[in-house]
């Protein structure tokens, strides 16, 4: 299904992004990994020698555009990279606020803009998946700013789906609950366990399960799915919840 197709995954050198890269590679796609840390890029290159790596700090608008300049058109884009941080509205620092907005919101716009013309120019259609979070739809402790950035990602997803549909470019988002990647482990264990008790399925999604969903949404099997923000929460979205 993906053989001969090109995919770019931001934040693809670790966590959920790494599993997305692995699965796309296994399905035959030519994958480009964009990430900030050279050592993590080297690790993914060692594991998957066929992937192409690009080093760039997504918080730097101009450097990201420069790093992507001259890149051949891609069929698939996964805006996966994200920055985390726990704070209330009262306590959040300007530095954390800036970082979350730069990486979680502005980079989605920046990377998409940079690659869009190439995706449109061939007239073959394309697909984009933005990795959002259940935090955009449910109120959890200490995620006022992080959750707000994911609300923005969801709204961008809906707008992109409408704007890009004339070019046969589908855009969807996945909204997982707590995934125990390096970033996900930053959750307070007591709060995470309290939330888990409310999950009807009794488990959070794994990184691989999120990657499976992303790959499905990119595939032709999801050809009629567009502008959807798909919760991966084991049913928590339907359960009663209060902070």
pLDDT in tens, 118-176: 999 988 899 999 999 988 988 877 889 999 999 999 999 999 999 999 999 999 999 99
Is position 146 annotated as part of the catalytic site?
yes
Residue 224 predicted with pLDDT over 70: yes
Task: Give the active site residue among 146, 180, 203, 221.
Answer: 146
Q: pLDDT per residue over 39-87, tens digit each?
A: 999 999 999 999 999 999 999 999 999 999 999 999 999 999 999 888 9
The confidence score (pLDDT) of residue 243 equals 43
Task: Give the active site residue among 150, 180, 185, 190.
Answer: 150
Asked which of 20-34, 87-101, 189-203 is least confident by mean pLDDT, the reply is 189-203
Confidence of residue 181 (pLDDT cuts 50, 70, 90): low
Q: What is the pTM of this model?
A: 0.91
The confidence score (pLDDT) of residue 139 equals 80
CATH number for the domain running over 6-233: 3.40.50.720
**For residue 57, with 0-12 CB atoms within 10 Å meaning exposed, 13-18 middle and 19 or more buried, which class applies?**
middle
Domain coordinates in residue numbering, the chain: 6-233
- Residue 237 or 233, more confident: 233
Q: Name the β-bridge partners of 10.
A: 34
Which of the 8 DSSP states describes residue 87?
Answer: B
């Amino acid at each position: 299904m993906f053989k001969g197709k090109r995919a770019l995954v931001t934040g693809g050198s670790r966590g959920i992004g790494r599993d997305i890269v692995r699965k796309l590679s296994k399905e035959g796609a030519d994958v480009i990994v964009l990430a900030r840390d050279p050592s993590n890029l080297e690790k993914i290159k060692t594991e998957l020698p066929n992937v192409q790596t690009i080093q760039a700090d997504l918080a730097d608008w101009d450097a990201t555009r420069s790093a992507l300049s001259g890149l051949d058109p891609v069929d698939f884009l996964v805006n996966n990279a994200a920055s985390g941080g726990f704070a209330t509205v009262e306590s959040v620092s300007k530095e954390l606020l800036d970082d979350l907005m730069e990486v979680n919101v502005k980079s989605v716009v920046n990377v998409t803009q940079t690659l869009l013309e190439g995706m449109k120019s061939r007239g073959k259609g394309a697909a984009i998946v933005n990795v959002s979070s259940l935090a955009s739809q449910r109120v959890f402790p200490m995620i006022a700013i992080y959750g707000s950035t994911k609300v923005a990602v969801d709204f961008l997803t809906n707008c992109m789906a409408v704007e890009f549909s004339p070019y046969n470019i589908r855009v969807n988002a996945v909204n997982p609950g707590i995934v125990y990647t390096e970033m996900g482990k930053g959750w307070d264990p007591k709060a995470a366990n309290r939330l888990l008790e409310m999950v009807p399925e009794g488990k959070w999604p794994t990184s691989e399960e999120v990657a499976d969903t992303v790959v499905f949404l990119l595939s032709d099997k999801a050809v009629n799915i567009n502008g959807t923000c798909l919760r991966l929460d084991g049913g928590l979205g339907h359960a009663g919840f209060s902070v």
